[in-house]
Amino acid sequence: MKADKITYLTDVALITCIASAGRGDAVIQAAQAMGAVGALVYHARGIGPRERLGLLGIAIEAEKDVVNILVATDYQDAVFEAVYRAGELNSPGAGLAHITPIEKMAIYIPREIRERIPGLGDSA
Amino acid sequence: MSAEVADAPTPGPMGSRSVKLISCVLSDDGTERRLLRWLRDQGITGANSVYCRGHSVLREAKARRGKLPEPELVRLVTIVVDVDEADALFELIYAQADIHRSGGGILFMTPLTFATPFVLPEGVADGCGSFATTRID
């Protein structure tokens, strides 16, 4: 495969889950169990319901894990549900999750996988 | 507030301008710094970079049962770009960041509905002892 040939992947969605700090690993494990191949995690400080929930604003964990997961749109609902449950997002102030449609994506595709894709071969 | 600040160009809302967000996940091997330097040379200043923990099931790593393997330190670079330049810049970043190699990372683009312009003031220092020679809007 030449470096200047790009294979664009479409029908991909980005699931972003903002969960309590420490729950990021559980979210990733749940997503991977549903077929997600990778995830990104970074820390953030959540501001919002903290001041209105809990005792003097200290009962809601302000430190958050932000988890980004790229999945095929065919599986986005299944992965999203797994993420929602693993992140315990049904609890007030626990966090939120959303799905962003990806217009196109590019990534290294090994030759053996390229050869398995009809019409792609090694010439695309 | 000084008169100089008042005279500086005031960016207005750019609701009619279509923009895209290009995101790039790169390993922390210096590629990200090279990419950011290259973007700056192209006059693109609307780029951000954050550290992330990267988990990939395609990368071999030892892990205890029921636990995730040790994450890899990766960089997430995000660039807000005009829709007219987005496709061309996407291809250039693909080449500049060596996405085509194994372990080269991921590059993806998402549409945005709104973005404010990021305009640098005149004569802003580009680095230690130097001044910016390019200015974009």
Q: Can you give A63-79 as a three-state secondary structure string?
A: EEEEEEEEEEHHHHHHH
User: Which residues in chain B show pLDDT less than 70?
Assistant: 1-17, 57-64, 126-137
Distance from CA of B73 to the nearest CA of A (A): 10
Chain B residues whose C-beta sits inside 8 Å of any chain A C-beta: 20, 25, 50-58, 67-68, 71, 74, 76, 90-91, 94-95, 99-111
**Cα–Cα distance measured from residue B83 to residue B98, given in angstroms and rounded to the nearest whole number:** 23
pLDDT of residue B3: 42
Q: Mean pLDDT across the stretch A66-84?
A: 95
Of B20, B25, B68, the CB nearest to A28: B68
Angle (CA) B45 B106 A26, round 5°: 110
Q: In what order do the strands lie in the sheet with A104-107?
A: A96-102, A12-20, A63-72, A38-45, B47-56, B72-82, B19-27, B106-112, A104-107
**Bridge-partner residues for A64, per DSSP?**
A20, A44
The model's pLDDT over A91-110, given as tens digits with 9 standing for 90+, comes to 887 889 999 999 999 998 88
pLDDT of residue B88: 95
Residues on chain B touching A28 (C-beta within 8 angstroms): 55, 68
pLDDT of residue B32: 92
**Cα–Cα distance measured from residue B102 to residue A91, given in angstroms and rounded to the nearest whole number:** 40
What type of residue sits at position B111? P
Q: Mean pLDDT across the stretch A44-57?
A: 68
CB within 8 Å of B71: residues ≥ 6 apart: A41, B53, B54, B55
Would the pLDDT of A86 be above 90? Answer: yes
What single string gives the DSSP state of each residue in B67-127? SPPPPEEEEEEEEEEEHHHHHHHHHHHHHHTTTTSTT--EEEEEEES------PPTT-EEE
Q: What percent of chain A has pLDDT above 70?
A: 81
pLDDT of residue B43: 86
Of B50, B57, B108, the CB nearest to A105: B108
Would the pLDDT of A1 be above 50? Answer: no
Q: Answer whether B72's CB lies under 8 Å from A39's CB.
A: no
pLDDT of residue B90: 96
Average pLDDT score over chain A: 85
Q: Mean pLDDT across the stretch A51-58?
A: 62
Q: Which of B3, B84, B76, B81 is nearest to B39 (CA)?
A: B81
Q: Tell me if residue A12 falls in helix, strand or coil.
A: strand
Residues on chain A touching B56 (C-beta within 8 angstroms): 37-38
pLDDT of residue B18: 87
Question: Hey, are the CB atoms on B20 and A1 less than 8 Å from each other?
Answer: no
- Check residues A52 and B25 and name the one with the higher pLDDT: B25
